[in-house]
Structure 1
Amino acid sequence: MTPLNRLRRYTWWTVAAGGVMVALGTVTDLVAQRYALPRALALATAVALVVVQHTRYLRQAMDGLGRGERRHWEHAGTFAVALAAWAATAGEDGFLPVWAMLPALVVAHVGAVLPARTRRPVVVVMAVASVAVGGLFGGDQATSAMVMAGSMVAVLVCADLAQLWIWDLAVRQERGRETAEALAVAEERLRFAADLHDIQGHHLQAIALKGELAQRLIGRDDELARRHAGEVAELARTALRETREVVQGYRRASLGTEIANAVGVLRAAGIETTVEGDAARVPPPLQPLFGALVREGTTNVLRHSRARRCAVLVDVLDGQVCVRLRNDGVPSGVARPAADPVGAGLAGLRERFATVGGRVEVGPTGGEGFELVGRAGVGR
C-alpha cells in the first residue's frame, strides 16, 4: 500500500469516527428505554438519516474540499431533522451530550462540500442555529445545552475540515508531482527530437553532398570518387554511432568537438574554415547548447549557401558567451530555415536558447556574407 493510500484510509476513518460515535451513543440511549416507542422510533430514524448523509458527503469530500454535491435543499432538510432530534432531547433530565453531535455532524459535512467562499458564513449560521435550539428547548439545562451544542459543532467541524484539508494538500501535491513528471518526460522528448534533428540533418546533408560529388567524379577521377565514397561511409557510421548515443541518453557533445566536426565537414566540402576563440572557456552547462548552434549553422551553410569561406568565432566574457558562424555565401537562400516547422531547425534552436535566457540572431553581415549568432550566459 502506498503512503498516499495509507493517508487516505487514515483520513477516512478519522472523519467517519464522528458518525460512528453518534450512532453508538444514541443507540445506547434509545435502548435504555428513556423514551416512548413512537418517539424512540422517530429519533432512531433521525439518527440513521444524519449518519448516512454524513458518511455519504464526507466520502465525496475525500476528492477534495469543496468538490462534493451542493444540494442545498437536501442539506437544509437533513439539518432540520437533526435540529428536531436535538430539540426533542435537549430538555430531558440528564440529556446525553451525544445528541448535540447530531446537528454538528450535518454542519461538518456541509462545510466540507461547500466552496471556500461560502463555507464560513454557512457554517456560522448553522452553528448559531444549533446553539439557539439548545437554548430554546433546553429548559432548566438551557445553558448547558447551548454550551454543548456550540462545543460539539466547533470540535467536529475543526477536526473534520482539518483532516480533509491535510488530505486535500496531499492530493494536490501528488497531482503536482505527476504533472511535473509528465512535463519532464515531454521536455526530454523535445530535447531528444532536437538532438536527433541536429545529428541527422548535419550528417545527412554532408553525406548527400559527398555522394553527389562522388557520382560526378565517376569516370573522370575514379580514385577521388572512391575516396569520397569512403568518406560517405565513414559519415554514415558516425551518424549511426551518435544516433545510438542519443537514444541511449549518453550523448554530451562539447562545443570543441562540434567545432572540430564542423571544420572537417566544411573543409571536405571545399569550404575554407577558420576558428577563433577557445571553446573550452564556454561554461559546461552551455556546451551542448552552443554545440547545437554550430551543428545547425554548419548544416545551413552546406544546404543553403555557396560559401567559399566560413569562420567560427567564440567569445566568452564574464560568463556571457557569444558564438558566431560567418560565411561568404549568397544570403538569399538562407532565409529558408525560418520556414522549418516549430521544434526543428532555427525555430527549435531559438526555443532552446530562450529556455536559458539566450537568443539566436541570423542575418547578412553587410556584404554577401551571412552569419548565425547565438548568445547566452550562466545565470541569465
Structure 2
Amino acid sequence: MADRGSALWPPTSACPGSRDFNAQFAANALGAERLIDLATRYGTDRLGEAMTELIAYSERRMRREIAALPDGTWHGEDAVDDDGIHDEPLPVRVAITIDGDQIEADFAGTAGQVTRNLNSPLSSTASATYAAIKATLTSPDIPFNHGMTQPVTLRVPYPSLLNPQPPAPVHARMEACYRVFNAVMKALAGAVPERVIACGYDTTTALTMTRFDGRHYEVVTEVLGGGYGASANSDGESALSSPLANCTNTPVEALDLDYSFFRLRAWALRTDSGGAGRHRGGLEYDRVYEVLEPGSTLTLYADRFRLAPAGLFGGHEGTRASCRVERNGRIIDVASKDMMPLEVGDVVTIRTGGGAGYGVPDGRDPDMVDDDLGEGYVSIHRARRHHAWHGAAMEGR
C-alpha cells in the first residue's frame, strides 16, 4: 500500500478524487471550528436565538414575496427521455397553486416508479421544487434555509418517479430533478412570465471513459455544461453547468497531463444551437475525444437526446443533445444512458444541447442579430429565416 497524505490507496489505483475528499473534510473541520468559536464568543443561547431568527426572517420574506403574486393555479410538464430500458418518456407534471402567502406544488399525474436508478427521493424532489420557486419568486438575499420552505406544500404521489418506495435505485436521480425544475418553471410562467427562464439543456451530461491495461485502471468523468434557456430580459447563457449543479469544466491541459489513453481534439460552441426567440437560448458545445490506447470503455449518463428543451411565449425549442462514435469512417450513435467498448482511433463527439428561446423571433432587436452574426452564434441562413431581417450588414459575414 502507498501512503498518500492521510489516506491509503493501492499503488495500482489512481485516485484523483482523494484531493476533493480531503478538501471537503478540511472545509467541514474549519466550519465546525468556527461554529464553536461563535458559541464561545457569544454564548450558545444567543447563537441559538440568532439561528432561529434567521430562519424566521427567511419565512417572513418568502411569504411577503408570495403574497404579492396573483392567486391561481397553473400547470407545467416536462419529461425524462426514457429509463434506458423502455423507449417511453417519463412525464413529470405539476400544478402550482398560489393562495395568499402560500404555494402548493401537486405532482399528480407524474410517471410511476422505475426499475432503473432514475428515481428521485422525496427530499431531492423537494429541493428541486424549492430551487425553482426561490429562483423565480424571490431575491437572492433571502437566505436559503428551512424558513423559506415553510410556505411551500408538496403533494407527490407514492410510489412514483419523484417519491419511490424503498428499496429503490436512486443514484441517477438528477434527470428527474431537472424535469421537476423545468415543470415548476413552466407553471410559474403563467403567474410571473417576466421572471422565469425557458428550458435549457438541463441534464447531467456525465461522460465517463475508462481504461484497464491489466495493472492500472484509469477513469475520467466529465459532467458537461450546455445552453441555458432565455428570459424576458436576456439571452440564455452558453456552455454553463446546469442550474441544479455546481460542476465546472475540466481544463484541456489538465486532462492532457493526467491521462494518456485519449486526447481532446476539439471543444467549441456550436453555431445555431440556441433556440431562436426575442431572446435567444444559450449555445451548446461540441467536445471531441480521440482514443489513443486499447482497452477503453465509454459510459454515458445523460438526457435531452429525444425531447428538446421547450421555448416560452413563442420562443423556439433548443437543440437536442447527442453522442456519436466515428470508427473507420462509420458513425455509431450512442444512446443517452449506455456504454460501449472503444477502439484505438475512435473519435467520440458529445453535443450537450442548447437552451430554448423566449418570445417570438420576429421581435428580436436587429442589432442583437447583428451581434450574433459577428460572434458566430447564428448563421446568415438562420438570421434570414427566423428573424425576418435583411440588413446589408449581413452580407459578407
TM bucket (normalised to shorter chain) is: under 0.3
Higher relative contact order (CA 8 A, sep 6+): 2
Q: Which has the higher strand share?
A: 2
TM-score w.r.t. the length of structure 2 is 0.21
TM-score w.r.t. the length of structure 1 is 0.21
Q: Which has the larger radius of gyration?
A: 1
Q: Which has the higher helix share?
A: 1
